[in-house]
Structure formats: C-alpha cells, structure tokens
C-alpha cells in the first residue's frame, strides 16, 4: 500500500468512564424522560426502581435483531385488567416468533409465572392506575442472527397513566388522514413484535398531514388498521363494523368493542356487529368512526381526509361505547385480578 | 361487582434489588455471553468497558418501536476498513427512517463525528482485528409511537473476530436451502433497520432444513437475498451476477465483489459482471454460488436444495474472489483509516 493511501485518523482521546461516573451521567440524562415506576428484569430475577438500571443489554436480540415481542395490560383501581387476553396473545406471538419461553416448561406455566411477575411489579410500583408493558425477547448472548447462545428474557415496566402511549385526551375527536404506507407481511403484522418502525413512520406521516395515527389500506383498497390502533365504523344503517384480523394484529380492544357492540344490538341501538372486509368507499360513507387500543382507549375520529365523519362531532354510538368500555374496566366482568398492595 | 368476580391474585413477595445487587447479578448472568471489548454510548458521551453497563434504556425506541438503524465496519490490522461506505448507508438509512441525527447540524458533521467516535471506541478496545457494530436510535424518552420527546442515541460496540455474526469458518462451502418467507416491504428492506425478525426467522427456517442463512425469492420467483447476506452466482458462460438492489438492502460487500469481479473481467477470467433480475431457474443452472457480507466474508455455497452447485466443490472464481477480498481488506485501496493506538 502506498503512503498516500495510509490515511491516518486523528481523533481526540477517548473518554472512558468508570462505573459511578457512567451511571451518574446516565441518571442525569434520563431525568427529564419517562420514569417507569418499577421494572422487572428476568436476567437478574428481580425488580428495580432505579431509572439508570432500567435497561437491556446491548446484545439483547430485541435490539440486535428486533427478535422480541411485547404486550400490555391495564391497572384500573388496584386491579389488573385484561392481563389474560394479553398474555394469551403474547404466548401466540412467542410461538410465531420462535422465541424460547423464558419460564416454565409449558405455555401455561410460563403464562402463570408472567402474570405473577406482572402483579409483583405493579404492587412494587404502588400504582393503582396506569399501564403495564411487557417484553419477551430472545435475550442477550451473541450478535448472531438466530437465538442459539442467547438467554430468553422477560422485562416488565409499570407506567403512570400520563406516560402511556395512547391517552384519554382525545375524547372530543381527532382528525385523521389516510396514509400511503405498505402493510407488514402477514406473519409480522399478526405477531405483536417490536418491529414497529413502519407503525412509527405511519404515525409520523399522518402528523405531516394533520392526522395523528394514520389510516392504512390493504392492497385491495380496504381498511387495514391504524398505526397502533384498530379502526371501527358505524354504518348509516347502524352496523358496527371493523376489519378482519387476517392482515392485521388481533386487537384486544377491538374484540372488547365488538363484545360491547353486541349489547347495543340487544338493546336495539345497533342493527348488527360485524368483522368484514371494508372497502375505503364504504368506510367513507360511515356516520361514526373510532380508533381503539390500550384496553380502554376509544378515540373518536370526527374528520377524515379533510371531511367530517357523519355530523363531524362525536356520535351517539361512540359515546355509548366509551361509557361501556370505561364501565367494563372499572367494574369488571371477570377479566380482573385484585392485587394485594402492602 | 359481585364477590365471585373479585379474583385475588396471590403472589410471592416481590424481590426488589438495590443497585449493587442488581449489577452484580447482571454481571454474573452476562459472564458466559459475548463480551464487547468496548461500548460507546452517546447518552453519557463516553465509553465503558464494564459488561453490565453495556445496555440501552428500556424506553429506547430501538426496543420500544424498532425505531433504530445499524451498520457495521471492520477492523483489519489496526485500520478501520470501509467505515465510510457503511456510514454513507447509515446516513441514508437515518433519513428513510426519519431518525433525528444525534450529532451535528449536517449529515457530513454527523458522519465525521460518528467516524471519530468509532475510531475512539476501537482504540479503547485495543483490538487490531475484529468488527464494529453501531446503532443510531430514536433513543429513550417516552413509550410513545413517534420520536417527539426522545433523545437520539448512538451506540458503538467493538467485537473480537470470533464474536462476529458472520465468520470465516465456512470457506469450504456450505449447504443452503430456499426458504419460503415473505420479503419485507421495500422501504424496510432497503433501510438497514433493526427490524430483523423476518431475517432471523429466515435463517431459523433454513436451519430446520439443513441450510444456514436461507435463500429468499421475491414475488416473481427471482432471487432476492439471503437472511443477512447477498447472493452472487457465476453462470456457465462465466458471467458474475447478483440481484438488483431495488427490493433488498444495497450490500456493501456485494458492491465490493462486483468491483473485484470487474478486475477478473479485465484478466479474462470472467466474461461480464452484472446486477440483474435472476429467475430461480437461471440461478439453479449456475456453476458457482456464494453469499457475501460483513465486508470480507465470502461464503461459498456448494449445495443448494440438496443438489450440488456446479461440481459441488468451491469453484475457481469464488476462490479468486475470496483471495481478492482478503487482499483488499489487508492491503487496502484507499477505503482504510490508520488508527493511532497508544
């Protein structure tokens, strides 16, 4: 090699930090950020409330390969709300994603252990209301592509209501826009993984045009989903409709809304409840539109692509559903666990 | 709510760990795992060599939303090899992924700063040979969907040769299989994000059937790529061919192989070098096949879907390319930076 090609890279001396200095700096930078009230980490088999310890190893495959799944549940009045439906979906996601279970030798044992850990972490947090996010990852071990040599990990964080990604602040209705963004392949779309870059970009693109979460269409021009929420419509003839789950994630809140919609059918307030293919043109003629997710968050959409949905204000069925969902979360129909706080 | 529905969740008392106990346990569990020789973390503005501090915050969007990009470069004989081509791709990925730059006010400033940090981290590691992996993430701050409220982060790890995901151990040729797995949508496929679950599952599926990385086809039945490697073929009439980059990541090693293939054309050893659509049937008639990635890793494929490729042993062009790539990495044609070790 000629000397001309021997480019030297002159760099300032590296700043190597000792443990205490590193953690102190990290604590400082995390200070203005979200502060989980507690975090469980299966790698250490325990819970921390130190912000600077709430972390995952740099070689955890959740980061290295996006080889992780997550789910959520709610804390309502000192009870865990709908943890089991989320854990069931989590176990399904683990199987599709081929992530070795971090606990037990059966799916049921793993699920029981996860429920218990979630409860312990919530109780440690002291929060009576808020949300839980939990992650199961191929875990740390290597920078390879496959899980061999890694140790599956389970992480749980407990968040205050104001720190949850979907909040209650939009009950007066939001404006939404259709976003041109490709859907994920079905395997990825139907598994609740952390491969959510397209979801994030969908929301960012919606915000560019005055929307918030964005409305996605499938390849046939039918409604798919929003970035992290399901889309539900009320037709002129009083049918409550939402897309099939074949190309999208099986929304737990959408399933609750369908259940509660059934009650409104019984009361004569709705003609029918249906999961079906919804061409965009059909959706655009609907009189009410809502997005739902996060167990109890029903977000009315009053304007879509610059036009009012129905009257342009929150419709009666949407209002009724918000009320029913909140009642369900507060009073419970069995999908609750009382927690024993000290 | 009736008492029957008040299910109590009796759980063992939570194990809350203090800082020292937490870090000691973490150190213990990480002990048998991969050990980066050094890690830079922009959040603290410095480098650590403590394994238990090599981590990212639990609310970093690299984990929360897969909103992160990565790239790599090589350390060869005390020089950084091909860091600029990787940084250029990294900057392109950041733009597509809409990740705010963690440094500087221009792309060039950011790139210069990243190169300098990579060099500092490598020098701190003391390694003269190995690999670098670097990540740019939307960073920590919230559990929301979009980057608002987050602080972009840049993480660098330096790995020993035996810790790299693609190793030199397969020079005698490997067996590969075609894998039926959907491609990512082009936006995701052409951006080097950490949304790599499908890549991991592709390799796992290949291993199920006696392969290693797996060969993927596009929707037209043409060769796409391998899970984390590009596919290159030599036709019977001595043409070196590899697929276009329109549906796949623009492989930096594939580009190097195309360059070096040009030399073999000049020497009369190849008839032509071409990037083109390659129907599977055309690929199956080829006399040599190789996978490439990680700057200098050329992996001959001697058997594909149970049949020998060409003679079933490593062919002359592949051997020549391995030699040329290694020479390029060792002696350098200008895409090297000499590092100043203390």
A118-148: pLDDT as tens digits: 999 999 999 999 999 999 999 999 999 999 9
Q: Do B65 and A200 touch (CB under 8 A)?
A: yes
Model confidence over A201-248: pLDDT tens digits?
A: 999 999 999 999 999 999 999 999 999 999 999 999 999 999 999 989
Residue that is written with structure tokens 């003629």 in the block: A285
Closest C-alpha to B257, from B238, B232, B282, B281: B232
Q: Distance (Å) from the C-alpha of residue B238 to the closest C-alpha of chain A?
A: 30
Residues of B in contact with A147 (CB under 8 A): 200, 204
Q: Distance (Å) from the C-alpha of residue B130 to the closest C-alpha of chain A?
A: 13
Higher-confidence residue: B1 or A311?
Answer: A311
> Which of A60, A115, A123 shows the shortest C-beta gap to B14?
A123
CA distance B160 to B36: 7
Three-class secondary structure of residue A321 per DSSP: helix
- pLDDT at A4 exceeding the cut of 70: no
- In this structure, the number of other CB atoms found within 10 A of the CB of residue A23 comes to 20
Residues of A in contact with B151 (CB under 8 A): 29, 33
- Can you give the length of chain A in residues? 342
Angle ∠(A217,A92,A336) on CA atoms, nearest 5:
95
> Which of B16, B45, B183 shows the shortest C-beta gap to A47?
B16
Per-residue buried b or exposed e for B248-274, using 16+ beta carbons within 10 Å of the residue's own CB: bbebbbbbbbbebbeebeeeeebeebe
Closest C-alpha to B257, from B277, B276, B233, B221: B233
Closest C-alpha to B16, from A46, A170, A57, A167: A46
**Which pLDDT does position B3 carry in this prediction?**
47
Q: Distance (Å) from the C-alpha of residue A335 to the closest C-alpha of chain B?
A: 8
Residue of A nearest to B148 (CA): A204
- State how far Cα A288 lies from the chain centre: 24
**Which pLDDT does position B1 carry in this prediction?**
42
Residue A150: DSSP 8-state:
-
Closest C-alpha to B159, from B183, B185, B126: B126
CA distance B195 to B213: 17
Residue A168: DSSP 8-state:
G
Three-class secondary structure of residue A292 per DSSP: strand
**Which pLDDT does position A268 carry in this prediction?**
97
**Which pLDDT does position A132 carry in this prediction?**
98
- Can you give the length of chain B in residues? 342
Residues of A in contact with B340 (CB under 8 A): 8-11
**Which pLDDT does position A169 carry in this prediction?**
65
How confident is the prediction along chain B (342 residues), in pLDDT tens digits per residue?
Answer: 444 456 888 888 889 999 999 999 999 999 999 999 999 999 999 999 999 999 999 999 999 999 999 999 999 999 999 999 999 999 999 999 999 999 999 999 999 999 999 999 999 999 999 999 999 999 999 999 999 999 999 999 999 999 998 876 667 899 999 999 999 999 999 999 999 999 999 999 999 999 999 999 999 999 999 999 999 999 999 999 999 999 899 999 999 999 999 999 999 999 999 999 999 999 999 999 999 998 889 999 999 999 999 999 999 999 999 999 999 988 866 688 999 998
Residue A332 — pLDDT band, cuts 50, 70, 90?
low
> Which of A115, A146, A334 shows the shortest C-beta gap to B5?
A334
Pairing of strands A297-304, A307-308: antiparallel
> Which of B56, B187, B197 shows the shortest C-beta gap to A67?
B197
Residues of B in contact with A184 (CB under 8 A): 184-185, 188
Q: What percent of chain A has pLDDT over 90?
A: 89
Residue A9 — pLDDT band, cuts 50, 70, 90?
confident
CA distance B315 to A52: 53
Cβ distance B191 to B250 under 8 Å?
Answer: no
Tokens of B144: 């929301």
Q: Residue B20 burial by CB count (10 A; 0-12/13-18/19+): exposed, middle or buried? A: exposed
Cβ distance A159 to A38 under 8 Å?
Answer: no
**Which pLDDT does position A126 carry in this prediction?**
97
**Which pLDDT does position A167 carry in this prediction?**
73
- Radius of gyration (C-alpha) of chain A in whole angstroms: 22
Query: Please, how many CA atoms are within 13 Å of residue B85, restricted to the half-sphere of its CB?
Result: 17
Q: Distance (Å) from the C-alpha of residue A113 to the closest C-alpha of chain B?
A: 10
ipTM of the prediction: 0.96
Cβ distance A86 to A69 under 8 Å?
Answer: no
Q: Do B63 and A165 touch (CB under 8 A)?
A: no
Q: Give chain B as a 3 state SS string.
A: CCHHHCCEECCCCCCECCHHHHHHHHHHHHCCCCCCCEEEECCCCEEECCHHHCEEECCCHHHHCCCEEEEEEEEECCEEECHHHHHHHHHHHHHHHCCCCCCCCCHHHHHHHHHHHHHHHHHHHCCCCEEEEEEEECCCCCCCCCCCCCCCEEEEEEECHHHCCCCHHHCCCEEECECCCCCCCHHHHCCCECCCHHHHHHHHHHHHCCCCCCEEECCCCEEEEECCCEEEEECCCCEEEECCCCCCCCCHHHHHHHHHHHHHHHCCCCCEEEECCCEHHHHHCCCEEEEEECCCEEEEEEEECCEECCCCCCCHHHHHHHHHHHHHHHHCCCCEEEECCC
Pairing of strands A8-9, A153-159: unpaired
Q: Distance (Å) from the C-alpha of residue A110 to the closest C-alpha of chain B?
A: 15
H or E stretch covering A94: helix A83-97
Residues of B in contact with A207 (CB under 8 A): 146
Average pLDDT, integer, range A52-71: 98
CA distance A74 to A332: 12
Q: Distance (Å) from the C-alpha of residue A238 to the closest C-alpha of chain B?
A: 31
Residues of A in contact with B76 (CB under 8 A): none
| Cα dist from B332 to A3, B77, B338, whole Å | 11, 11, 11
H or E stretch covering A331: helix A316-331
Residues of A in contact with B211 (CB under 8 A): none
Contacts of A276 (CB under 8 A, 6+ apart): A241, A243, A244
Contacts of B291 (CB under 8 A, 6+ apart): B174, B176, B213, B226, B229, B230, B231, B232, B298, B299, B301
Residue that is written with structure tokens 């980057």 in the block: B147
Q: Do A22 and B46 touch (CB under 8 A)?
A: yes
Model confidence over A159-198: pLDDT tens digits?
A: 999 999 877 666 789 999 999 999 999 999 999 999 999 9
Cβ distance A206 to A214 under 8 Å?
Answer: yes
Residue of A nearest to B7 (CA): A337
Residue of A nearest to B335 (CA): A5
**Which pLDDT does position B165 carry in this prediction?**
86
CA distance B215 to B181: 9
Residue A8 — pLDDT band, cuts 50, 70, 90?
confident
Q: Do B29 and A48 touch (CB under 8 A)?
A: no
Residue of A nearest to B167 (CA): A144
Higher-confidence residue: B266 or A336?
Answer: B266
Q: Do A213 and B43 touch (CB under 8 A)?
A: no
> Which of B16, B49, B164 shows the shortest C-beta gap to A46?
B16
The domains located in chain B, with CATH, are 19-163 (3.30.470.10), 168-331 (3.20.10.10)
Residue of B nearest to A330 (CA): B1
Model confidence over A89-103: pLDDT tens digits?
A: 999 999 999 999 999
Residue that is written with structure tokens 């899980």 in the block: A147
Query: Please, how many CA atoms are within 13 Å of residue A230, restricted to the half-sphere of its CB?
Result: 30
- Residue B192 appears among annotated catalytic residues: yes
CA distance B263 to B137: 38
Residues of A in contact with B39 (CB under 8 A): 58
Per-residue buried b or exposed e for B215-227, using 16+ beta carbons within 10 Å of the residue's own CB: bbbbeeebbbbbb
Q: Do A194 and B155 touch (CB under 8 A)?
A: no
**Which pLDDT does position B169 carry in this prediction?**
65
Q: Distance (Å) from the C-alpha of residue B215 to the closest C-alpha of chain A?
A: 15
Q: Do A197 and B143 touch (CB under 8 A)?
A: no
Residue of B nearest to A148 (CA): B204
Residue that is written with structure tokens 């209501």 in the block: A161
Closest C-alpha to B296, from B86, B38, B123: B86
Separation of first and last alpha carbons in chain A: 71
Q: Do A45 and B61 touch (CB under 8 A)?
A: no
Pairing of strands B38-41, A153-159: unpaired
Residue of B nearest to A119 (CA): B11
């Amino acid at each position: 090699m000629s000397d001309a090609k021997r480019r030297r890279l002159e760099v300032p001396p590296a700043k190597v930090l000792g443990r205490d200095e590193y953690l102190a700096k990290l604590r400082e930078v995390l200070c203005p950020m979200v502060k989980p009230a507690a975090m469980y980490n299966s790698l250490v088999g325990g819970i921390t409330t130190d912000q600077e310890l709430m972390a995952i190893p740099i070689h955890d495959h959740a980061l290295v390969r996006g080889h992780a799944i997550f789910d959520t549940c709610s804390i309502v009045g000192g009870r865990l709300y709908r943890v089991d439906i989320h854990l069931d979906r989590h176990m399904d996601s683990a199987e599709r994603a081929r992530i070795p279970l971090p606990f037990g030798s059966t799916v049921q044992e793993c699920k029981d252990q996860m429920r218990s850990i979630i409860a312990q972490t919530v109780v440690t947090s002291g929060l009576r209301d808020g949300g839980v996010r939990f992650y199961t990852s191929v875990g740390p071990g290597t920078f390879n592509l496959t899980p061999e040599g890694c140790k599956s990990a389970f992480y749980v964080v407990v968040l205050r209501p104001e720190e949850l990604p979907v909040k209650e602040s939009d009950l007066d209705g939001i404006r939404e826009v259709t976003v041109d963004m490709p859907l994920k392949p079905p395997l990825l779309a139907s598994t609740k993984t952390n491969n959510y870059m397209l979801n994030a970009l969908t929301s960012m693109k919606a915000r560019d045009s005055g929307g918030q979460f964005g409305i996605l269409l499938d390849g046939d021009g039918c409604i798919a989903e929003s970035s992290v929420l399901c889309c539900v419509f009320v037709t002129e003839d009083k049918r409550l409709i939402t897309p099939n789950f074949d190309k999208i994630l099986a929304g737990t809140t959408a399933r609750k809304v369908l259940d509660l919609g059934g009650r409104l059918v019984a009361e004569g307030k709705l003609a029918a409840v249906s999961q079906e293919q919804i061409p965009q043109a059909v959706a655009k003629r609907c009189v009410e539109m809502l997005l739902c997710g996060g167990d109890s968050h029903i977000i009315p959409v009053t304007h879509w692509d610059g036009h009012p949905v129905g009257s342009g204000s929150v419709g009666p069925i949407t209002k009724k559903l918000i009320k029913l969902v909140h009642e369900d979360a507060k009073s419970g129909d069995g999908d609750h666990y009382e927690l024993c706080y000290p």
